[in-house]
Amino acid sequence: MADGNQLKLSDVRSVFRLIGEIRELGADPEQWRPHMVRQLQKMLACDLVISSEIHFKKTGKDVMRVIDIGWGCGAEGDTYRIFTERDGERPENYWVTAANEQGAAASAGIPDEGPAAAEAALVPVRPAKPLYGGQSFILSQYPLPHIGAVDQLGLHRTSGEKKFSRAEHRLVHLLHVELGRLWRKDALEKAKDPTKDLPPRLSQTLHELLQGASEKQIAMKLDLSRHTIHNYVKALHQRFQVSSRGELLAKVGREQKPDFRPKLSIEVPESMAPRPPADAPQ
């Protein structure tokens, strides 16, 4: 592993190899997070590795609920799941700072006036120091403002053992930044995804179309009139910006390809999801 201040090419390759393994495991954080902490424990000979999302929701003036979701790995390579929920916390206890209430609404894509802003619960946070630590521990944090959270990667060595070098600090942060690139891409694509949060009837109609059913067959199965189903199909055309059933099926088929980017445990909030047209059926 890296020693001193200089990163070794072999160590950088190890980081990108781990990124590749994470992507091969697929999107499920119940798969890629435990694998990542196990591999980091081996790579850096740590006594403890923790990878988790820390979510912040405002519950009162200057206080918030904190939800911590992730995985840990001990010195023997044994992994365990993390899930804690605490009230009355402050962001500074987690090496992060929070935007003010107006900034929170703006960062969540909510207008700064009206009831929507008043109900904004997510608290956009940012690391006070993206990389923090010393000779016995490393703390790397990556901001996730679109879900009011920070992803945290912590590594510890028992006092008296081999100390972490500056190069190892940089190596851990490199891994975190590369993961963050995938999450940013994921958030942007979700914001443009027309299949996200389809109304139930539109979702049922689309599913039946993908199975090859005709409008008549869909009407019979859902116990609705053919006229209603025809209107649902037109609404799907409008949502996906297509003009025929063939175009619709081709476009949805392309967008439903397997996803191999590591997902977070809590997805983009509904306040950021694309909204259906006002006249779309519910």
Q: What is the pLDDT of residues 3-14, one digit of tens each?
A: 567 889 999 999
pLDDT at 38: 97
- Of 242, 235, 238, which Cα lies nearest the Cα of 204? 235
pLDDT at 256: 59
pLDDT at 280: 45
Q: Rounded CA gap, 77 and 173, in Å?
A: 21
The whole model's pTM is what? 0.65
Helix ranges (DSSP H) in the chain: 9-24, 29-44, 101-107, 115-118, 166-191, 200-210, 215-222, 226-240, 245-255
Positions of the chain with pLDDT lower than 50, given as ranges: 101-120, 268-282
Please report where in the chains the tokens 């979510």 appear, as a residue. Answer: 55
- Return the C-alpha torsion angle 196, 202, 208, 209, nearest 10: -90
Question: Percentage of residues in the chain with pLDDT exceeding 90?
Answer: 44
Ordered domains of the chain (ranges, CATH): 9-191 (3.30.450), 200-255 (1.10.10.10)
pLDDT at 103: 46
Please say whether the beta carbons of 94 and 84 come within 8 A: no
Encoding tokens for residue 237?
């055309």
pLDDT at 250: 84
List 235's β-bridge partners, or say none.
Answer: none
